Amino acid sequence: MKHFNFLSQEEETAIFHQLPQTIKTKHEGIYRFSSDERLLIGNALGAALYMPATRENIAQLVINARYSAAAYILCLEDSIGDVTLETAEDNLISQLKEIQAYTDSLSEVERNQLPMLFIRVRTPEHLAAFGERLGTLAKVIDGFALPKADTHNMVDYLTNVIELSEKNDTWLWAMPILESRALMIKRTREEEMTKIYDILTQPKFEERILNIRLGATDMCGLFGLRRTIDSTIYDVSVMRDFMTDVLNYFSIDRRFVISGCVWEFFGKRPRILKPLLRETPFKAKLGEDGQLIRKELITEANDGLIREVLFDKVNGINGKTCIHPTHIVPINSQLVVPKEEYMDAKHILDSTDGQIGVFKSDGGNKMNEVKPHLLWAKQIIRRAEIYGVFNDKKEFVDLLIAEYLSEEKK
């Protein structure tokens, strides 16, 4: 996979100090990824685009790189009515066959530039049954999203992923989605999370966990809640408490990658609060045309999305469930590393020889302390490899503008 595939070579040079790299996600046969490789790929998913499996153009969207998502999650669960499940499965099989025919003609380098493909199933039993239907098409996909994963079904889910992988001689990842009632209710959460942690840290299961996803819609639904366009998931107190506990259990020492909650808004809706996207960056870069682009982004509710991604990032959540193509670049652009942060991280990693413990940043505006900031620095360098490093005076707005203008040309 590679991010920001809509950029020209000239735009890449102008925007990036260090370009986003192509991340190798595929190997022949059952290649056991190292922990570092697993974390690299898990952090690289970024805005993972959900798509109902009933869509008849999935293959063409993937083949033609219509969207800049590095991962697609093809849904057979909540987005599909019970009576249309078989139709959705038939269509998904057909789409995967088309993708398979296309990828067979590609080189290994070309295959690694394609987005990753995951299937969201319904239950462990559904995974096993649909896996039988997939057969060798399992080699086309990269793994499964596991909804409502909890202590009752987690082992079965993961065991079925491993068995399908071994049967078809291909590596398949698992992405458990935490969204069950026992996890949301405070009085049962600690016991449930402890048991899930014990399951996921078993070596045979841990090596399969690409990331852990958070199911905000189901969790909020338990309380009859739904955030508005002018709020973030962090304003919903029960969700904030739940997310804090998930991070405390699974993100300590950055053992697992935690992916953020879906942002539900993408159309024109009335707003109450002042827009969050500042006028100045757009006007400074493109004058009045920049203001028009800013207005378009605001009507798509992406300013609120950007604010939520900023909260995700500062809390150690990387990537996000994405249900509309207009969300992809606003999410991924926030994960590009500012040059100042990149230089701080490099200097921290270069200072682990015990000669100094603390030093002033190149910008002269912060303290860099080697030991407590070491894990942060490693994360920044990993993000820089995946999403790139901005040039001086470049920022996420430059990517929003470039993506908008590329769409205008289509």
232-269: pLDDT as tens digits:
999 999 999 999 999 999 999 999 999 999 998 876 54
| Confidence at residue 36, expressed as pLDDT on a 0 to 100 scale | 96
| Confidence at residue 269, expressed as pLDDT on a 0 to 100 scale | 43
> Do residues 271 and 225 touch, judged by C-beta distance below 8 A?
no
Length of the chain: 410
- Asked if the model's pLDDT at residue 47 lies above 90, the reply is yes
Kindly state the average pLDDT of the residues 35-59: 96
- Asked if the model's pLDDT at residue 351 lies above 80, the reply is yes
Look at the block and give the residue holding tokens 């920001």: 4
What distance in Å separates the CA atoms of residue 251 and residue 151, rounded to the nearest whole number? Answer: 19
- Quick: pLDDT tens for 119-137: 999 999 999 999 999 999 9
Band of the pLDDT at 110, cuts 50, 70, 90? Answer: confident
Residue 27 vs residues 99, 171, 182, 199: alpha-carbon distances, Å = 17, 8, 37, 26
Give Cα 295 to chain centroid, integer Å: 26
Band of the pLDDT at 277, cuts 50, 70, 90? Answer: low
Band of the pLDDT at 143, cuts 50, 70, 90? Answer: very high
pLDDT-above-90 percentage for the chain: 76
Range 28-336 classified under CATH 3.20.20.60: yes
Band of the pLDDT at 295, cuts 50, 70, 90? Answer: low
Phi-psi region of 3 (alpha: psi -120 to 50; beta: other; left: phi over 0): beta
Closest CA to 351 of 365, 331, 332, 371: 371
Band of the pLDDT at 271, cuts 50, 70, 90? Answer: very low
Kindly state the average pLDDT of the residues 368-393: 96
> Do residues 375 and 253 touch, judged by C-beta distance below 8 A?
yes
- Pick the range with the lowest mean pLDDT from 94-108, 182-196, 357-371: 357-371
185, 187, 188, 194 alpha-carbon torsion, rounded to 10°: 110
| Confidence at residue 159, expressed as pLDDT on a 0 to 100 scale | 98
Band of the pLDDT at 165, cuts 50, 70, 90? Answer: very high
| Confidence at residue 363, expressed as pLDDT on a 0 to 100 scale | 81
What distance in Å separates the CA atoms of residue 155 and residue 105, rounded to the nearest whole number? Answer: 37
- Asked if the model's pLDDT at residue 361 lies above 80, the reply is yes
Which of 16-20, 325-329, 397-401 has the highest average model confidence (pLDDT)?
16-20
Work out the mean pLDDT of the chain and round it to a whole number.
91
Please name the residues in contact with 317: beta carbons below 8 A apart, sequence gap of 6 or more: 214, 243, 247, 258, 259, 260
| Confidence at residue 273, expressed as pLDDT on a 0 to 100 scale | 43
Annotated domain spans of the chain: 28-336, 337-389
- Quick: pLDDT tens for 307-320: 999 999 999 999 99
pLDDT-above-70 percentage for the chain: 91
369 or 228, which is more confident? 369
| Confidence at residue 108, expressed as pLDDT on a 0 to 100 scale | 82
Which of 103-107, 171-175, 217-221, 358-362 has the highest average model confidence (pLDDT)?
171-175
